[in-house]
């Protein structure tokens, strides 16, 4: 009986938004709104562009059941990336006190490349530092001989 009671419990959905492929300005792409941990399977997913409702260019899956008896649903939005535009996936569900907005903007798509660039620069600096120390140590060793 306890298991049956747990199945009736309303869950809080988990929402993530990401592009289907790497974002290139002016190149068509698809935003994916992945909504997981849905129970009961009643939900409203809508898209906003720059704060305004999107009325075309989107589709969604039916509810996909999971082993834990919850569901997931995916919504797709075709878009043309631009530095000026931002998007929100809006999720309404009984498990939420108010609609949940998951934001995606150009900065989301490029943050990883900025981090990689910084990491690459740091690694190169360490390599040059190591090379410089090696050469200095090697020169001092030659002078001692």
CATH code, domain with 46: 2.60.40.10
Domain assignment present for 145: no
Q: How does pLDDT run across 103-133, given as a tens digit for each residue? A: 998 776 543 444 344 444 444 444 444 444 5
CA 128 to chain centre: 34
Domain assignment present for 127: no
Most confident of 3-17, 21-35, 101-115, 129-143: 21-35
Distance of CA 25 to CAs 36, 70, 81, 120, 141, Å?
A: 29, 37, 5, 24, 54
Predicted TM-score (pTM) of the model is 0.69
Predicted confidence at residue 5, as pLDDT, reads 44
Predicted confidence at residue 117, as pLDDT, reads 42
The answer to whether the beta carbons of residues 15 and 89 sit under 8 Å apart is yes
Domain assignment present for 75: yes
Domain assignment present for 101: yes
Domain assignment present for 100: yes
Q: Which residue did the predictor score with more confidence, 110 or 85?
A: 85
Tell me the C-alpha distance between 110 and 119, whole Å: 14
* Rounded average pLDDT over 62-72: 97
Which residues lie closer than 8 Å to 95 by C-beta, 6 or more apart? Answer: 10, 11, 12, 13, 39
Domain assignment present for 22: yes
* Rounded average pLDDT over 53-75: 97
Domain assignment present for 17: yes
Predicted confidence at residue 75, as pLDDT, reads 99
Provide the domain limits for residue 69: 2-105
Predicted confidence at residue 113, as pLDDT, reads 42
Domain assignment present for 131: no
What is the number of structural domains in the chain? 1
Distance of CA 67 to CAs 15, 70, 123, Å?
A: 19, 7, 43
Tell me the C-alpha distance between 62 and 56, whole Å: 18
């Amino acid at each position: 009986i306890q298991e049956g009671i747990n199945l009736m419990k309303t869950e809080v959905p988990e929402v993530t938004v990401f592009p289907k492929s790497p974002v290139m300005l002016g190149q068509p792409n698809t935003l994916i709104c992945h909504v997981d941990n849905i129970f009961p399977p009643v939900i409203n997913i809508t898209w906003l562009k720059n704060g305004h409702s999107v009325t075309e260019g989107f589709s969604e899956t039916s509810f996909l059941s999971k082993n834990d008896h919850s569901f997931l649903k995916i919504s797709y939005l075709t878009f043309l990336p631009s530095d000026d535009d931002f998007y929100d996936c809006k999720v309404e569900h009984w498990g939420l006190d108010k609609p949940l907005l998951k934001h995606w903007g150009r900065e989301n798509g490029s943050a990883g490349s900025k981090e990689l660039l910084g990491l690459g620069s740091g690694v190169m600096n360490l390599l040059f530092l190591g090379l410089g120390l090696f050469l200095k140590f090697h020169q001092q060793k030659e002078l001692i001989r």
